[in-house]
Structure 1
Amino acid sequence: MQESFWQRYWRFPIIWKVLIGFVAGAVTGLVVGPSIEVVQPLGTLFLRLLQMLVMPLVFFTLIVGAASIRPSQLGRAGVKILVYYLLTSAVAVTLGVLLALAVSPGQGLSMPGQGGEARMPPPISQVLLGIVPTNPFAALAQGDVLAVIFFALVVGVALGALRHSGEAGRASLSEGLLAIFRGINEVMFVLVRGVLEYAPIGVFALIAVTLGRTGVAALVPLAKLTGVVYGGVLLQILFYSLLLALLGVGLRRFWSAAQEPMAMAFVTRSSNGTLPVTMRAAGRLGIREALYGFSLPLGATINMDGTALYIGASVVFVANVAGIDLTPGQLLGVIVTGVLASIGTAGVPGAGLIMLSLAITQAGLPMAPVGLVAGIDAILDMVRTMCNVTGDLVGTQVVARTEPDFVEAPTRAPAEGVGVPS
């Protein structure tokens, strides 16, 4: 029997649908121009659908992941992923600084007019204290990702402790509760699949509006900065490949699974919004939910390799525009600030400008040149978010490689399909 159009459409890989939407949106945006903003609601709807899934998905996946293993095992893997996130962020921001110093991307540009005061992020101490929520339900309602992660981990660890307490009554109750959480988690992945089917339309609108507003000419004055950021991300990805190769990870298999979340992150510019797709990729790599259930949501919040690289390059760019030579102390401060600021920066479009404002202030540079960077922030945000998400997945694979308990046996690897985080 011959397949219908819709049957062929559903079987067509999502990654190709998204890429077709991206190309069509880019061409349409450049041809039509600013008037293409009429399709903006289609892109906004896609982002809202993704954001709708983030909080419940993070909450229930973290609980299931943390409860699925012994607390001692969770602690060991947690330390490893945290160390990885901090070290790779430091590598990224250093790479951004060094590349920008070599290229001097802002040289020859003039200062823009004074703009409005940049929105500043909270102090690091406030960010760290804010991780512990006074009201977990308010944190869920307000989208406070760090607080939700903390509370879900605490609940999951407590549930895991009950499962392994050795008391039959407590273990039985905890298994029943865990089964409910797992059921809700499966429902969330069904919703993820449905939202992904809408992705090509949303991607078309997002790209069309972005290029319709900026146009090709908007990239010319800042082409060197754009080249530094894009080139730096490429080098960071090569660093990931080297790290994976040293651990004996099959690069072809890994990058084949990673291409979908990388493409989704590039077009949506949201680490949190891409989280469902990144989880599917981790499952496809045979990594257990017990690991990626907490490493990926945590990474989407505190691991911002691409954004750290962008900050390093942009601070040098601002210094070039202002005609200021950065001292070694200022450069060191930029590196430290870039790593620490990522802890409190949400994985949503445009959050990198908040981190950049913090780094600019810390370095004692004028804020006015930030307006130049903001003009192409959407273009830079695409590639830096892709790097952020890639770093999360690489970190999860690195920990899984060093912790065999978190890897599925080959015969048990999750299959592609609705309701399965593959």
Structure 2
Amino acid sequence: MMFCNTLCRVYRRVGLVYQIIAGLLVGAFIGEMLPAAVPAVAILGKLFVGALKSVAPFLVFVLVTAAIAQHNTETKTHIRPILLMYLIGTFSAAVAAVAASFAFPSTMTLVQSGDHALNPPSGIAQVMSNLLMNLVANPIGALSSANYIGILAWALLLGFALRRTAAASTLTAVADLSKAVSAIVGWIIRFAPLGILGLMAETAAATEFSSMIREYGKLIFVLVGCMAFVALVVNPLLVFWKIRKNPYPLVFLCLRESGIPAFFTRSSAANIPVNFALAKRLNLHEDTYSVSLPLGATINMAGAAITITVLTLAAANTQGITVDFATALLLSLIATVSACGASGVAGGSLLLIPLACSLFNIPNDVAMNVVAVGLIIGVIQDSAETALNSSTDVLFTAAADMGAAAQAGKTQ
């Protein structure tokens, strides 16, 4: 008993980031050296991701409702500059992907997809239609299916209605509910090291990087290289634009504490509670991040824009199609708009590739073969994409909030 108490005290004293790193190392060791133990350990990862995915929709609904209901009209939020950074960042990512694809042209051996349930959107109009229909989805259905567009819409409406009609005691109850849900999230996040351990063990056991075909390796290199360029060059420039000082401490903090968990959970939705916890530790304005973070998980999709652009241009190269600069720029715009709607389409960014391929008149069956290639390399592509997307949500929120605070300090 004393040993368990001592172990718990040591566990609490060690920082969460160091615990996660330890979980990564132990998980990798188990996955490589003790494959028989992987099924038992992997359940930790499944439980952790399942808990995050389950609590995230209700967390977003409660926090956004409480923030709007209690919002002081004299208190300024910074949603508009964050939205601008989201759009600029996503478009810049698409342009970077075009440049990388021109510098390192890729082709692929197309394979047949065995998943006949895939149903990609037929055009931009359908993507926008999906988004609009998600806005008016049944609120209970939106919560159960993690439809964050619908959750945000109903939370905003309920928050505004409560602010206009609710008694003070009701607003206090809403605030208390928000604190209670946040406490539950905190308890779940304390188990992140064990969850990451399970996820890493399962990944290490299932992935044989050496077996990747050379052309797929080149494709992964271009994809991950673009995402690293956006994370380490484009994003810091946008952050510097807002805070006017060295952006890299904030960039690395967000990559470490948000990007690493997102890399292994491979779910922006599951990482929303992690981003909320980080925003709270950074002392960001709750009225801002309670809206901007779930909104970012929906529309801030720089990684998705890179995936759509790189795989579409690789498909064009495979088909022998010459792409000029003007068409590539148009592809960047399409990838930006499509990426913003990725979360509203079943299958995420990969299923938006046929939409982009239609720009070059690439047949739909060929485009779906490209989707199949994306599924093959998805263990790396999807992990890196989610890490970039999710860490950028909290990074841009922090930059806008800190930049506004610094500007307010100068004017006083």
Which bin holds the TM-score, normalised by the shorter protein?
0.7 to 0.9
1:278 Cα deviation after fit: 0.8
User: What TM-score do the two structures reach when normalised by structure 2?
Assistant: 0.85
- 1:405-416 alignment runs, 5 A limit: none
The 10-residue stretch of structure 1 (23-32 or 4-13) with the greater mean CA deviation from structure 2: 23-32
Structure 2 counterpart of 1:254: 250
Contact 1:54 1:272 in 2 (8 A): yes
Structure 2 counterpart of 1:310: 307
Question: 1:381-411, CA deviations, whole angstroms, 9 ceiling, x for partnerless residues?
Answer: 1111111012211221233145339999xxx
CA distance in structure 1 between the aligned counterparts of 2:159 and 2:182, rounded to whole angstroms: 19
Change (3 A) 1:174 1:363: farther
Q: Which amino acid aligns with 1:316?
A: L
CA distance in structure 2 between the aligned counterparts of 1:392 and 1:115, rounded to whole angstroms: 34
Structure 1 counterpart of 2:159: 156
Is 1:52 the counterpart of 2:54 in the alignment?
Answer: yes
Identical positions, percent: 25
User: What TM-score do the two structures reach when normalised by structure 1?
Assistant: 0.83
Question: 1:135-159, CA deviations, whole angstroms, 9 ceiling, x for partnerless residues?
Answer: 3223223322101111111222344
Is 1:124 the counterpart of 2:127 in the alignment?
Answer: yes
Q: Which amino acid aligns with 1:244?
A: V
- 1:99-114 alignment runs, 5 A limit: 99-106=100-107, 109-113=108-112
Question: 1:12-70, CA deviations, whole angstroms, 9 ceiling, x for partnerless residues?
Answer: 11222222222332343344569945644332222110011111110011112223435
Contact 1:28 1:208 in 2 (8 A): yes
Structure 1 counterpart of 2:284: 287
Structure 2 counterpart of 1:18: 20
Is 1:4 the counterpart of 2:6 in the alignment?
Answer: yes
SS in 2 for 1:346: helix
1:203 Cα deviation after fit: 1.7
SS in 1 for 2:323: coil
Q: Which amino acid aligns with 2:339?
A: S
- 1:36-47 alignment runs, 5 A limit: 36=38, 39-47=41-49
CA distance in structure 1 between the aligned counterparts of 2:184 and 2:212, rounded to whole angstroms: 37
Contact 1:34 1:209 in 2 (8 A): no
Change (3 A) 1:198 1:398: closer
Question: 1:365-391, CA deviations, whole angstroms, 9 ceiling, x for partnerless residues?
Answer: 322233222211121111111110122
Contact 2:91 2:336 in 1 (8 A): yes
Contact 2:304 2:342 in 1 (8 A): no
CA distance in structure 1 between the aligned counterparts of 2:291 and 2:86, rounded to whole angstroms: 13
CA distance in structure 1 between the aligned counterparts of 2:345 and 2:179, rounded to whole angstroms: 24
Contact 1:64 1:182 in 2 (8 A): yes
SS in 2 for 1:4: helix
Question: 1:58-94, CA deviations, whole angstroms, 9 ceiling, x for partnerless residues?
Answer: 00111122234356867x7333332222221111111
CA distance in structure 2 between the aligned counterparts of 1:292 and 1:158, rounded to whole angstroms: 21
SS in 1 for 2:313: helix
1:115 Cα deviation after fit: 5.1
CA distance in structure 2 between the aligned counterparts of 1:249 and 1:57, rounded to whole angstroms: 33
CA distance in structure 2 between the aligned counterparts of 1:211 and 1:398, rounded to whole angstroms: 35
CA distance in structure 2 between the aligned counterparts of 1:318 and 1:27, rounded to whole angstroms: 37
Q: Which amino acid aligns with 2:235?
A: Y
The 10-residue stretch of structure 1 (243-252 or 178-187) with the greater mean CA deviation from structure 2: 243-252
The equivalent position to 1:264 in structure 2, one of 257, 261, 271, is 261
Structure 2 counterpart of 1:85: 86
CA distance in structure 1 between the aligned counterparts of 2:42 and 2:318, rounded to whole angstroms: 33
Structure 2 counterpart of 1:398: 399
CA RMSD of aligned residues (A): 3.1
Is 1:140 the counterpart of 2:143 in the alignment?
Answer: yes
Q: Which amino acid aligns with 1:299?
A: G
Is 1:324 the counterpart of 2:321 in the alignment?
Answer: yes
Change (3 A) 1:346 1:5: same
Change (3 A) 1:93 1:186: same
The equivalent position to 1:190 in structure 2, one of 157, 166, 183, is 183
Change (3 A) 1:340 1:402: same
Q: Which amino acid aligns with 1:119?
A: N
Q: Which amino acid aligns with 2:7?
A: F
- 1:163-202 alignment runs, 5 A limit: 173-202=166-195
CA distance in structure 2 between the aligned counterparts of 1:140 and 1:198, rounded to whole angstroms: 24
Change (3 A) 1:27 1:119: farther
Q: Which amino acid aligns with 2:153?
A: F
Change (3 A) 1:127 1:289: same
What are structure 2's unaligned runs of at least 5 residues? Answer: none
1:357 Cα deviation after fit: 3.9
CA distance in structure 1 between the aligned counterparts of 2:326 and 2:348, rounded to whole angstroms: 26
Change (3 A) 1:283 1:100: same
Contact 1:121 1:358 in 2 (8 A): yes
CA distance in structure 2 between the aligned counterparts of 1:121 and 1:144, rounded to whole angstroms: 17
Is 1:227 the counterpart of 2:221 in the alignment?
Answer: yes
Contact 2:258 2:271 in 1 (8 A): yes
Report how many residues are paired: 395
Structure 2 counterpart of 1:243: 238
